[in-house]
Amino acid sequence: MTSTTLGQKVVSPVAAGDTVAAHITSRSRPALMWRALRRDKAAVVSIGILVFLTLVAVFAPLLAPYDPLDGDASQRLEGIGTPGHLLGLDGQGRDILSRLIYGGRYSLTVAVLPVLAAAPIALLIGMFAGYFGGRAGNAVMRVLDVLFAFPVVLLAIAIAAVLGPGLANVMLAIGITMVPYMARVVYTATVQESAKEYVEAARAAGATQAQILRQQLMPNVMSPLVVYGTSLCGLMIVLAAGLSFLGVGVTPPAPDWGVMTSDGRSVLLEGYGHVATIPGLVILVAALAFNLIGDGIRDALDPHKQTS
Amino acid sequence: MLTTFDRRGRRPRAGRLSAGLLALALLVSACGGADAADDGPAGDPQSGGTLAIGIESDTDVLDPHRAGGWVTYRVNRQMYEALVDEDLSKTSEEAPIPEIVPGLAESWEVSEDGLTYTFHLREGVTFHDGTDFDADAVVFNVRRMSDPTFEFYDDRSAGQTVFVWQHLQSVTAVDPLTVEMTMKQPFSAFLRLLTQGGGGSTGIISPTALAEYGNDEIADHPTGTGPFRFVDRVRGQRITLERNEDYWGEKPYLDSVVFRPLPDPSTRVSALRAGEVDMIAVPSPDSVSSLEEAGFDVATSAPPHLWYLAFNMTDPIFSDIRVRQAVNYAINREGMSEDLLRGTTNPAYSVLPPANSAYEASEEYFEYDPERAKELLAEAGYADGFETTLMTSVDGSGQIVPVPMAEYIQQDLADVGIRVKLDTTEWITYLTEWAEGIPAGTGMAQMSWGMTTPYWLRNVTSSTLQAPNGSNVGHYSNPALDEVMQQAATALDEATADELWRTAAEIVHEDAALAPIVNDKAPYVLSGDVQGFVNPSEEWYDLTSVWLR
């Protein structure tokens, strides 16, 4: 096994001198992390942005000036600053601001849920294969290798095509395609951590395998998974938009940010750039926020940074 | 100033810009600043040059009998000719229906009883491989498409061209230049159908080439008699044709033609602006006015190209005629044509398009009236509306911009209380699903189609052609209509046939079995260098008259 995956590089939560007594318990970890994270300005701002976007989406009916689904075709494509329409109108004459406000409901869900759903499965598979290894573990990882052979989009299209279009199915499709990638991160971390002294010490102290997995290994392999997972969130929005473009994703007229961007593509160079660029910028900001939080968590988990 | 190979040489500024500053150039031209072509007097036609055409999707096989779809026929008909042809040198305004003119047959007679067609073939015509064209070649081709006992019979070709040969009894070579075809029943649309290419088409292939390459390989070695001959094809990239120097008729001005599949509308428009292609099919409606401002020519037409909805007659809700009428009344076709599609279509109220001998302007049918729609829904017991699904493709040959159009319909129907879910599918998959018929739970399906012969109506409404055995995807069935259409199909003279087709169309309207939405104007956008292009009342065009300055 080569050991150069993202998970390997970013995580060194338990440095060389760890002993079983020094390992960070799962209880204290979030608190420590939060303290470190608070010092990271970029991460704090990012959290603020995501909280803001989430609140806007939750209270969309109170905030949106117009119905996001109902347009006035006679006003279509009018630009930023059109009276009554701060961010202009889209190709159906719908208010872009209202659609952005509602769009968070789709896009933020699509960004987070597939990753959240894939994580426990990836954790189970990766830890099983990494800890027990042997033939069974190897077999599991080879099966995942087969899935790696398919491009993510192709796999997602195949799954979504079988399940039919719709937000839930898209999330399921994306979630499934993410499992091998996340499992690989967990697997690598597990293999690495399993060889460390604190695991051996726990074993010598009479811990059962279940205890070792749950109490010793899990907290340590969780961190690379969290970091990797947050970095995937932005990608999810774009992937979901791609599936919609192919007719297997969120169905129109749902105001998904990705769908809004791809809708605007056809008029991007016709002098109506706002239709695609505004939701595109929102995706950029959200994706960046997820990534910066991921970076923040990575740094927060890095013992070298904590002490410095 | 004009060279054969260096197409960009004619517009050096645009060409150089495109290399490095494509986006910037496009933004500038979008603002109306760029000069696409110098608009001087056109002058006399001159020979030479390569015409590059950006087409809306890759083509099917280059075997005229087997191929399906307009996109493919537009390529095939430059290489292949049928016994009779259409005069495509006139615009829709000049000739709403292209006249039937001699093709490989110089003249023909139809017997009094309408059962025997005698074709007198053109003399001295040779195929691109040097084979002589004669009556045996015609018989060879017709048997390939219709006679299961023939050595070169081809199932796929037969399936695609059944609409032409379904009533054929026999085909015989009377002498080297005379072919006689007899029918089992009179078939008034026969000659027109010989010229059609939406499904399979009847272009005559060299029998020598067919014997050499076989039914499967001939598509890689197209060998016809047409004004252009095949050079090469790189799938998904390009198809190149060159002038047939031995052509029997007016030889083309162009040295060669390159068809480039560019499925994405914005890519097509960009390629045109950058000078990579000289003309494009199906510009996005929103690009048309800025292209015009930038100096490009837009050639529109009125071909038989109807974008319509078929209703699922087996659906518990849509089996009620009042619901179907309500949907028809609720859709603002003018608004869609003018606002959403920027005038690239005409609102359609008739199931027969204007480019049709039996067309009657019938705007009294289902003019936009949401109040009337609400009343009808209330009468039908849906005062609070209902939920249903509309299936549509996301792209495809002739589909215009199906998703925005479906969204527009969705909003119109929401206004009268019908909550529509869109079921969107990629084109090739959609075609398969559509051909299987509208599934249970789905109320409506979108398609865009049409022919210059009213015979087309039978394809989408005859109870004998219900999906999956035909294109009547909504399983519409009206015995009275079937009877009228049978009479129309077998009528001996065209006037009687047209009268019967009008009656048939009226029945379809009374049943509100379909919702015609818009007729496409099938715009082509041309650089100022392209001269002599005519966009006729068909979904295909002739390139022999086109020249480059």
Per the structure, the complete domain to which residue A163 belongs is given by 28-66+91-306
Of A118-132, A137-151, B108-122, B140-154, the poorest mean pLDDT is in A137-151
Q: Specify the pLDDT at position A149.
A: 84
Query: What residue segments make up the domains of chain B, in order of their start?
Result: 2-8+30-282+524-548, 306-520
- Whether residues A266 and B27 touch (CB distance < 8 A) is answered with no
pLDDT over 90 (residue A9):
no
> If you average pLDDT over residues B211-229, what whole number do you get?
97
Query: Per the omega criterion (within 30 degrees of 0), is the bond before B263 cis?
Result: no
A83 assigned to some structural domain:
no
> If you average pLDDT over residues A294-307, what whole number do you get?
72
Q: Specify the pLDDT at position B498.
A: 92
A233 assigned to some structural domain:
yes
| Rg (alpha carbons) of chain B, rounded to whole number | 24
pLDDT band at B10 (very low <50, low <70, confident <90, very high): very low
- Whether residues A165 and B27 touch (CB distance < 8 A) is answered with no
Q: Specify the pLDDT at position B16.
A: 36
State the best of A90, A266, A272 to mutate against chain B, taking most chain B CBs within 10 Å: A266
CA distance B98 to chain A (A): 34
Whether residue A92 lies within 8 A of chain B, CB to CB, comes out as yes
The overall pTM is greater than 0.90: no
pLDDT over 60 (residue B36):
no
Nearest Cα residue in chain A from B284: A266
Query: Per the omega criterion (within 30 degrees of 0), is the bond before A151 cis?
Result: no
Q: Specify the pLDDT at position B40.
A: 54
Q: Specify the pLDDT at position B410.
A: 96
The shortest CB-CB distance from B340 to any of A73, A252, A266 is to: A73
What residues of A are in contact with residue B421 (Cβ under 8 Å)?
A: 251
B264 or B524: whose pLDDT is higher? B524
Q: What percent of chain B has pLDDT over 70?
A: 92
Q: A234: which 2 tokens?
A: 């932005």
- Whether residues B339 and A266 touch (CB distance < 8 A) is answered with no
CA distance A173 to chain B (A): 16
pLDDT band at A278 (very low <50, low <70, confident <90, very high): very high
- Per residue in A22-47, pLDDT (tens digit) is 454 545 667 777 888 888 899 999 99
Q: Specify the pLDDT at position A307.
A: 45
- Whether residues B30 and A270 touch (CB distance < 8 A) is answered with yes
State the best of A169, A270, A275 to mutate against chain B, taking most chain B CBs within 10 Å: A270
Q: Specify the pLDDT at position B252.
A: 97
Tally of domains within chain A: 1
Size of interface A-B (CB pairs under 8 A): 80
Contact map slice: A 95-134 vs B, CB within 8 A: none
Q: Specify the pLDDT at position B404.
A: 92
State the best of B394, B405, B430 to mutate against chain A, taking most chain A CBs within 10 Å: B394
- Per residue in A59-87, pLDDT (tens digit) is 999 999 999 999 998 899 999 998 999 99
A73 assigned to some structural domain:
no
By a Cβ cutoff of 8 Å, what residues of chain B touch chain A? 23, 26-27, 30-31, 265-266, 269-270, 284, 286-287, 290, 335-336, 339-340, 393-394, 401, 403-404, 406-408, 410-411, 414, 421-426, 429-430
- Measured CA to CA, the distance from residue A129 to residue A138 in angstroms comes to 7
- Per residue in B304-343, pLDDT (tens digit) is 999 999 999 999 999 999 999 999 999 999 999 999 999 9
Q: Specify the pLDDT at position B204.
A: 98
- Whether residues B284 and A76 touch (CB distance < 8 A) is answered with no
- Whether residues B401 and A266 touch (CB distance < 8 A) is answered with yes
Q: Specify the pLDDT at position B38.
A: 46
Q: Which residue in B401, B507, B528, B520 sits closest to B462, CA to CA?
A: B507
**What is the ipTM for the molecules in this complex?**
0.73
- Per residue in B362-372, pLDDT (tens digit) is 656 789 999 99
- Per residue in B243-272, pLDDT (tens digit) is 999 999 999 999 999 999 998 888 899 999
Whether residue A79 lies within 8 A of chain B, CB to CB, comes out as no
Contact B410, B444 (CB under 8 A): no
Q: What percent of chain A has pLDDT over 70?
A: 88
CATH topology of domain B2-8+30-282+524-548: D-Maltodextrin-Binding Protein; domain 2 (3.40.190)
- Per residue in B76-95, pLDDT (tens digit) is 999 999 999 999 999 999 99
The shortest CB-CB distance from A92 to any of B26, B394, B407 is to: B407
Q: What percent of chain B has pLDDT over 90?
A: 76
Q: Specify the pLDDT at position B227.
A: 98
In whole numbers, what is the pLDDT of chain A averaged over residues?
A: 84
- Whether residues A69 and B411 touch (CB distance < 8 A) is answered with yes
Q: Specify the pLDDT at position A8.
A: 39
Q: Specify the pLDDT at position B240.
A: 98
pLDDT over 50 (residue A2):
no
CA distance A181 to chain B (A): 28
Contacts for B246 with CB less than 8 Å, ≥ 6 apart: B126
Q: Specify the pLDDT at position B88.
A: 96
pLDDT over 90 (residue B353):
no
B43 or B228: whose pLDDT is higher? B228
Q: Specify the pLDDT at position A222.
A: 86
pLDDT over 70 (residue B223):
yes
- Whether residues B403 and A265 touch (CB distance < 8 A) is answered with no
pLDDT over 90 (residue B378):
yes
The shortest CB-CB distance from B265 to any of A245, A251, A266 is to: A266
pLDDT band at B13 (very low <50, low <70, confident <90, very high): very low
- Per residue in B422-468, pLDDT (tens digit) is 998 878 788 889 989 999 999 999 999 999 999 999 989 999 999 88
Q: A242: which 2 tokens?
A: 């791609």
Q: Specify the pLDDT at position B77.
A: 96
- Per residue in A182-197, pLDDT (tens digit) is 999 999 999 999 989 9
What residues of A are in contact with residue B286 (Cβ under 8 Å)?
A: 77, 91, 266-267, 270, 272
Q: Specify the pLDDT at position A265.
A: 84
- Per residue in B39-90, pLDDT (tens digit) is 556 688 999 999 999 998 888 899 999 998 899 999 999 999 999 999 999 9
What residues of A are in contact with residue B270 (Cβ under 8 Å)?
A: 269
The shortest CB-CB distance from A269 to any of B30, B339, B423 is to: B30
Angle (nearest 5°) at CA B326 between B323 and B332: 145
What residues of A are in contact with residue B26 (Cβ under 8 Å)?
A: 269
- Whether residues A266 and B426 touch (CB distance < 8 A) is answered with no
> If you average pLDDT over residues B135-139, what whole number do you get?
97
pLDDT band at A16 (very low <50, low <70, confident <90, very high): very low
Q: Spell out the SS3 assignment of A229-254.
A: HHHHHHHHHHHHHHHHHCCCCCCCCC
Q: What is the DSSP string of chain A?
A: ----SHHHHH--SS-TT--TTTSPPTTHHHHHHHHHHHT-HHHHHHHHHHHHHHHHHHTHHHH-SS-TT---GGGTT--TTBTTBTT-B-TTS-BHHHHHHHHHHHHHHHHHHHHHHHHHHHHHHHHHHHHH-HHHHHHHHHHHHHHHTS-HHHHHHHHHHHH-SSHHHHHHHHHHHHHHHHHHHHHHHHHHHHTSHHHHHHHHTT--HHHIIIIIIHHHHHHHHHHHHHHHHHHHHHHHHHHHHTTSSSPTT---HHHHHHHHHTTTTTT-THHHHHHHHHHHHHHHHHHHHHHHHHHHH-HHHHH-
B306-520: CATH class? alpha beta
CA distance B428 to chain A (A): 12
Q: Specify the pLDDT at position B312.
A: 97
pLDDT over 90 (residue B205):
yes
pLDDT over 80 (residue B18):
no
Nearest Cα residue in chain B from A165: B423
Q: Length of chain B, please?
A: 549
CATH number, domain containing residue A147: 1.10.3720.10
Q: Specify the pLDDT at position B35.
A: 40
- Whether residues B424 and A247 touch (CB distance < 8 A) is answered with yes
